[in-house]
Structure 1
Amino acid sequence: MNPISLSAALASFSEQWSPRIVTTVNDYDVRVTHVEGEHLWHVHDHTDEFFLVLEGELRISLREPAGERTVTLPKGSVFTVPRGVEHKPYAPVPTDILLLEPTGTSTVGDRHDEVPAHVEATTGHTLA
């Protein structure tokens, strides 16, 4: 094992909403990806989803029992979407994020809206 530079990992690809697995911790993938624009409404029925904004700004709309709300994550912020909560990430500017999810977790969740062409439905790609 060697240290992994997150900036080098992010520089190794340009696709949006297409995460790369930089390492694994127990049964969890640590993924990085570039994002811009809207993702899609989706739900992870069996796992929470952890977000860390490395660069830019991420907004996450949530549909909760009390109603719909949006959280804004500036650079350096973290947020966890609890399992079972429908959510839709949106990046108003080019943004780089780090995600922590169980290995094999789909980027579009267990239930979701139609997947737009700019979003890849994947469980992550191995870092080149």
Structure 2
Amino acid sequence: MINEPIDLPTALKSFDQLWSPRIVTQVNDYDVRIAKVAGEHIWHAHENTDEFFLVLDGELSIGLRDGEPGGADGGERVVVLPQGAVFVVPRGVEHRPFSTAGASILMFEPTGTSTVGDRHDAVPGHVDATTGHALG
């Protein structure tokens, strides 16, 4: 990793792929990833780790199947994150990020965490099943 300051707007301009995170730095055993998103990701869960989201630009929604009050039948609900908002999806909770108008996000995840969690089949072509790509 580079031991210099990283300008996130410049880093985001360096790629166009959606749902294909770039690793901007590492903190201990965690990747700090940025991504551009639009449309829908897939329902998935991370059994061994929480997932931290920070919206840098735009608005991100996350569908959750966590059984919390306010959810529809089956315990589904949606949290809406405007620019500047943070949210943590707890480990083991099935979730689906989506953004109608597009967004730029920052995520903290343990190094090696797959973007599709427990999903290993039927991953649509617009979702990059990866553990993150190097920036630049």
Q: Shorter-chain-normalised TM-score: which range? A: over 0.9
Given that 2:60 and 2:102 are in contact with CA atoms closer than 8 Å, whether structure 1 keeps it comes out as: no
Given that 1:34 and 1:97 are in contact with CA atoms closer than 8 Å, whether structure 2 keeps it comes out as: yes
| Structure richer in strand, relative to its length | 1
Which of 47, 53, 65 is 1:63 aligned to? Answer: 65
How far apart are residue 110 of structure 1 and its match? 2.0
Give the SS at the match of 1:8.
Answer: helix
Give the SS at the match of 2:88.
Answer: strand
How far apart are residue 64 of structure 1 and its match? 1.2
How many residue pairs match? The answer is 128
Give the SS at the match of 1:42.
Answer: coil
State the TM-score, normalizing by the size of structure 1: 0.97
For residue 120 of structure 1, what is the amino acid of its counterpart?
Answer: D
Deviation per CA, 1:55-92, whole angstroms, max 9, x where unpaired?
Answer: 00000000013411000000000000000000000001
State the TM-score, normalizing by the size of structure 2: 0.91
**Root-mean-square deviation (CA), in Å?**
1.1
Given that 1:63 and 1:86 are in contact with CA atoms closer than 8 Å, whether structure 2 keeps it comes out as: yes
User: Which structure has the larger Rg over C-alpha atoms?
Assistant: 2
Give the share of equivalent positions with the same residue, in percent.
66
Large movers: runs of 4+ above 6 Å: none
Given that 2:59 and 2:101 are in contact with CA atoms closer than 8 Å, whether structure 1 keeps it comes out as: yes
